[in-house]
């Protein structure tokens, strides 16, 4: 049975809540608190009364962006809202998958719940109903500069509410119009500010950031466990992970990484140089950069998630219109640029560990390229995989160029400083995908390295900690011990799939 989460101005959603709702593990309900519904109605009523006093309010009685000086008569306010969604229908590229699109809808609801936007409660209910019925807008990934929010991708949600564009429904892409007719759903007629409420915000980049955080958090712990396998395969000095070292440099995440490695390493005797290369000895320090960044990145994402980030805002007490820039996605942009750099650094660390263990000159007398073959003259083990790991790492590192450095002046120099947060978030996901591939290859190779030590009677399998034996056995059962040269792409994909579903046990950092 799924849990129930409530939407109201008094309840903040978390990253985990967004993902749970998107995955169907939780149900979102609108609060039945009368004070909350009264708050939503109050600011919505303020907007609906504008035509009576002819006030000049951006995006309601004026054009959009640089067209702020163009006055719009009251009888055209609704048509203006339709047009806002329509002319932003220029997104290109791949479509966001349904999971991400659902999360985007949840993030938009979280932003609109505080009562500062002037949107009707019935619109929030309709967005929730679409999530419940699994009628999900088809949203192109490309076209947002991250301020004035995610205008182009969010226009696809607004348009679907109005019965336009396409949706995912029952495994097909269909027109929203045809699905509405089939189900007897009437399209929404937008109020004077409601398209602006839906489109003018950071919900796309925030939704992507939620998934990026969850996957990066997992990889942080997984990288610690992978390092333990690498250290065991190398028979490196377990003293590198002594807690006294990390008490002397007390970054909490760094210390936790060392603890995980130490516990997975156990009491195996070592027979290697007194100091292992940095990729082993300094692994907790490298992983610690990511681990110790997770708390503030989480705070940035969840603050943005629950913020009111459209424009203008409406003071529910006074009815004042506050012309602002809360749609600016700078915090998410910086968090995603930082996260992708820290995660790519994990790939670089594991790539160096892989090179260390594949090279017979540095792997402490393991077979060349970690081959498990008896005839080593014609078998090359993980030679090509090591090259592939290097390629994936290089691509991940290349994408660490910060998108926040590429602000563009757009829209007649009205949007003359933009965040680029959505592209930063998309790049972060790509970096994470590449690092997951590096992790998969490293798990395979390092589990084989430990198994080779066991077969050579250099490690007593029973001396390994139980959780380390389970991990090694799980990997080799999934991928198969590499005894003879064979294609391993399917083995790698199977491990990547297990990483995607987070099937390998880890200890959380946050």
Catalytic residues, by residue number, are 58
d(CA 229, CA 193) in angstroms, rounded, equals 57
CA nearest 278: which of 232, 231, 216?
231
Tokens standing for residue 207: 């939704």
Residue 184: burial class (beta carbons within 10 Å; 0-12, 13-18, 19+):
exposed
C-alpha–C-alpha distance, residues 454 and 448, integer Å: 10
Using DSSP, state whether 28 is helix, strand or coil.
strand
User: Are the C-beta atoms of 219 and 432 separated by less than 8 Å?
Assistant: yes
Q: Judge contact between 232 and 265, C-beta under 8 A.
A: yes
| Beta strands at 26-30 and 3-7: parallel, antiparallel or unpaired | parallel
DSSP characters over 302-343 = HHHHTS--SSSEE-TTT--EE---TT--HHHHHHHHHHHHHH
Interatomic CA distance for residues 295 and 460, integer angstroms? 39
361's tokens: 């000159």
User: Tokens 């991990």 map to which residue?
Assistant: 471
CA distance 91 to 110: 24
- Asked if the bond preceding 148 is cis, omega within 30° of 0, the reply is yes
SS3 of residue 419 by DSSP = coil
298 with 15: CB under 8 angstroms?
yes
Burial of 55 (0-12, 13-18, 19+ CB in 10 A): exposed
Peptide bond into 440 cis (omega under 30): no
CA distance 148 to 328: 6
Return d(Cα 315, Cα 509) in angstroms, integer: 39
Alpha-carbon span 125 to 105, nearest angstrom: 12
């Amino acid at each position: 049975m799924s849990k129930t989460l409530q939407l109201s101005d008094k309840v903040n959603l978390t990253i985990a809540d967004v993902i749970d709702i998107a995955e169907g593990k939780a149900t979102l309900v609108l609060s039945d608190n009368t004070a909350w519904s009264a708050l939503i109605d109050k600011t919505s009523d303020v907007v609906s009364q504008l035509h009576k006093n002819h006030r000049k309010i951006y995006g309601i009685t004026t054009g959009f962006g640089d067209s702020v000086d163009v006055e719009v008569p009251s009888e055209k306010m609704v048509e203006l809202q339709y047009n806002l969604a329509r002319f932003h229908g220029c997104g290109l590229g791949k479509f966001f998958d349904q999971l991400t699109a659902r999360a985007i809808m949840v993030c938009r609801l979280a932003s609109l719940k505080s009562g500062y936007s002037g949107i009707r409660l019935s619109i929030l209910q309709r967005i929730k109903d679409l999530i419940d019925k699994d009628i999900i807008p088809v949203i192109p990934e490309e076209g947002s500069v991250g301020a004035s929010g995610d205008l182009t991708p969010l226009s696809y949600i607004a348009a679907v509410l109005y019965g336009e564009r396409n949706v995912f429904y029952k495994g097909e892409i269909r027109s929203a119009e045809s699905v509405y007719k089939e189900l007897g759903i009437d399209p929404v007629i937008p109020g004077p500010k409601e398209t602006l409420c839906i489109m003018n915000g950071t919900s796309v980049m925030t939704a992507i950031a939620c998934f990026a955080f969850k996957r990066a958090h997992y990889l942080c712990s997984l990288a610690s466990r992978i390092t333990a396998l690498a250290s065991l395969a190398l028979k490196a000095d377990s003293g590198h992970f002594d807690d006294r070292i990390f008490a002397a440099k007390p970054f909490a995440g760094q210390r936790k990484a060392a603890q995980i490695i130490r516990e997975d390493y156990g009491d195996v005797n070592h027979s290697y140089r007194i100091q292992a290369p940095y990729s082993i000895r300094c692994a907790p320090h490298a992983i610690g950069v990511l681990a110790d960044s997770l708390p503030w990145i989480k705070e940035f994402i969840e603050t943005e998630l629950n913020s009111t980030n459209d424009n203008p805002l409406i003071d529910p007490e006074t009815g004042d219109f506050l012309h602002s820039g809360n749609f600016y996605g700078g915090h998410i942009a910086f968090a995603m640029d930082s996260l992708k750099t820290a995660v790519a650094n994990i790939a670089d660390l594991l790539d160096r560990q892989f090179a260390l263990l594949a090279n017979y000159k540095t792997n402490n007398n393991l077979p060349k390229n970690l081959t498990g073959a008896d005839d080593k003259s014609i078998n090359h083990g993980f030679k090509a995989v090591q090259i592939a790991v290097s390629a994936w790492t290089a691509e991940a590192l290349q994408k660490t160029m910060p998108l926040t450095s590429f602000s563009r002046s757009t829209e007649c120099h009205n949007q003359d400083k933009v965040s680029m947060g959505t592209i930063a978030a998309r790049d972060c996901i790509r970096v994470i995908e590449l690092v997951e591939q590096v992790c998969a290859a490293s798990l395979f190779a390092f589990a084989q390295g430990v198994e080779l030590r066991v077969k050579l009677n250099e490690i007593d399998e029973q001396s390994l900690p139980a959780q380390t034996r389970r991990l090694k056995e799980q990997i080799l059962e999934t991928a198969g011990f590499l005894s003879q040269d064979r294609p391993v792409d399917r083995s790698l994909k199977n491990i990547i799939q297990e990483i995607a579903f987070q099937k390998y046990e880890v200890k959380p950092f946050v």
